[in-house]
């Protein structure tokens, strides 16, 4: 199906601590209204959703998909979507946001486990998993939410194990769905049908931000000319590929400044800047303070409030634009 013209996009960048890249959003206030949003949003991590009440619709580039109470949803990064409830209702949700590649880094996974259990490389996708058909998926997701809410001793170890089991099961489901849709094709030969056209570039930057590479590489992975790639990227993201890459590096640096005691020079190198002066300049442009001031402010906030400053959510605002017809 062709993608609609003039679809408004919003990019949401969730901060996930490097030592435990998991964020759970839950509670009575997590309700979805019955008013369809005028925009689709996408984010930088895997989203697992649980519908606790009522029913409604998830909208992608493709046909809208109905959901109901008990369903679990699976949305990989860079998949534009939105959710709205049936008229006159407000469905209640819990969300698990996490980075499988970072969370499971170092595990001895078999080659057929998928690319970092990222759940992104399947063309035909089961975005909505009903509880009656997949009770084990619902049980695992609910157990993760409860563990994160209760925070009993060793809850992080427990959550990591549950997320590993959930990720493996989801990969099995998605691989089977892709094979059923096209028995003669490899399930991992193309992008998901609802993915952004620039998804390969976004993924490449997310996975390789710590290294130096030319922008031409990003155009190549999207199978576009450099000029066409720059135009399409700016239309969707409302910024240039280089500025987006540098902003990604700055967000990763914020993570390190919060969660480690590494020097600013070391952090600048870890996130891919060629010099600390270049790092400082870009950091101040994005965060509006120096790295040293940022680290001090986060530490002071933690001391004064007792709240772990790493639990905040960073969201890039203003990166919204109608997606033009790429042809």
C-alpha span between 103 and 160 (Å, rounded): 7
Same domain flag for 43 and 137: yes
Q: SS in 3 state form for 116-130?
A: CCCCCCCCCCCCEEC
Number of C-beta neighbours around residue 239 at 10 A? 18
Query: Is there a domain that residue 191 lies in?
Result: no
- 323 or 93: whose pLDDT is higher? 93
Q: Is residue 186 part of a domain?
A: no
Q: Do 139 and 15 belong together in one domain?
A: yes
- Max Cα separation, the chain? 60
- pLDDT band at residue 192 under the 50/70/90 scheme: low
Which one of 46-50, 180-184, 235-239, 256-260 scores highest in mean pLDDT?
A: 46-50
How does residue 124 score in pLDDT terms, banded at 50, 70 and 90?
low
Can you tell me the distance from the alpha carbon of 297 to that of 209, in angstroms, rounded to the nearest whole number? 25
- Same domain, residue pair 11 and 125: yes
Give the whole-number percent of the chain exceeding pLDDT 90. Answer: 48
Average pLDDT, the chain: 82
84's enclosing H/E stretch is: strand 82-85
266 and 118 housed in the same domain: no
Q: Within this chain, do residues 169 and 226 fall inside the same structural domain, yes or no?
A: no
- Summarised one tens digit per residue, pLDDT across range 10-19 is 778 787 887 8
Total count of domains within the chain:
2
The phi-psi region of residue 81 (left if phi > 0; otherwise alpha if psi is between -120 and 50; otherwise beta) is beta
Q: Which domain holds residue 66?
A: 7-181
Residues 37 and 167 in one domain: yes
Crossing angle for the helix pair 241-259 and 291-305, nearest 10 degrees?
A: 50
What's the CATH code of the domain at 293?
1.10.10.60
Residues 56 and 168 in one domain: yes
Are residues 138 and 244 both part of a single domain? no
Average pLDDT over residues 229-239: 88
Who wins on pLDDT, 16 or 253?
253
Domain co-membership, 165 together with 221: no
Would you place residue 315 in the very low, low, confident or very high pLDDT band (cuts 50, 70, 90)? very low
Q: What is the arithmetic mean of pLDDT over 178-206?
A: 70
Q: DSSP assignment of 150-170, as one string?
A: H--TTHHHHHHHHHHHHHHHH
* Residue at token pair 């089961």: 126
Q: What's residue 63's pLDDT? A: 75
């Amino acid at each position: 199906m062709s993608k609609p013209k003039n679809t408004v996009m919003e990019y949401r960048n969730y901060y996930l601590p490097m030592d435990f890249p998991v964020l759970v959003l839950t509670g009575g206030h997590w309700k979805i209204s019955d008013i369809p949003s005028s925009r689709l949003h996408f984010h930088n991590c895997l989203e697992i959703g649980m519908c606790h009440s009522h029913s409604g619709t998830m909208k992608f580039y493709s046909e809208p998909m109905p959901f109901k109470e008990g369903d679990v949803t699976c949305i990989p990064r860079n998949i534009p979507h939105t959710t709205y409830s049936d008229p006159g209702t407000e469905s209640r949700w819990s969300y698990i946001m996490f980075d499988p590649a970072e969370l499971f880094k170092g595990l001895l996974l078999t080659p057929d486990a998928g690319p970092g259990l990222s759940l992104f490389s399947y063309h035909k996708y089961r975005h909505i998993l009903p509880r009656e058909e997949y009770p084990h998926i619902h049980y695992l997701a609910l157990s993760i939410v409860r563990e994160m809410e209760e925070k009993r001793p060793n809850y992080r170890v427990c959550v990591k194990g549950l997320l590993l089991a959930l990720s493996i099961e989801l990969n099995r489901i998605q691989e089977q769905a892709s094979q059923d849709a096209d028995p003669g094709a490899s399930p991992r030969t193309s992008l998901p049908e609802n993915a952004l056209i620039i998804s390969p570039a976004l993924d490449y930057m997310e996975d390789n931000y710590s290294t130096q590479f030319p922008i031409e590489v990003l155009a190549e992975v999207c199978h576009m000319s450099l000029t066409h790639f720059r135009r399409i990227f700016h239309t969707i993201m409302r910024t240039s590929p280089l500025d987006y890459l540098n902003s990604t590096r700055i967000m990763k640096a914020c993570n390190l400044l919060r969660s480690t005691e590494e020097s600013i020079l070391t952090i600048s190198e870890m996130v891919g800047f060629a010099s600390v002066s270049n790092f400082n300049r870009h950091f101040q442009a994005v965060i509006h303070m120096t790295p040293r001031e940022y680290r001090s402010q986060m530490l002071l906030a933690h001391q004064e409030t007792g709240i772990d400053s790493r639990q905040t959510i960073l969201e890039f605002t203003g990166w919204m634009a109608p997606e033009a017809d790429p042809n």
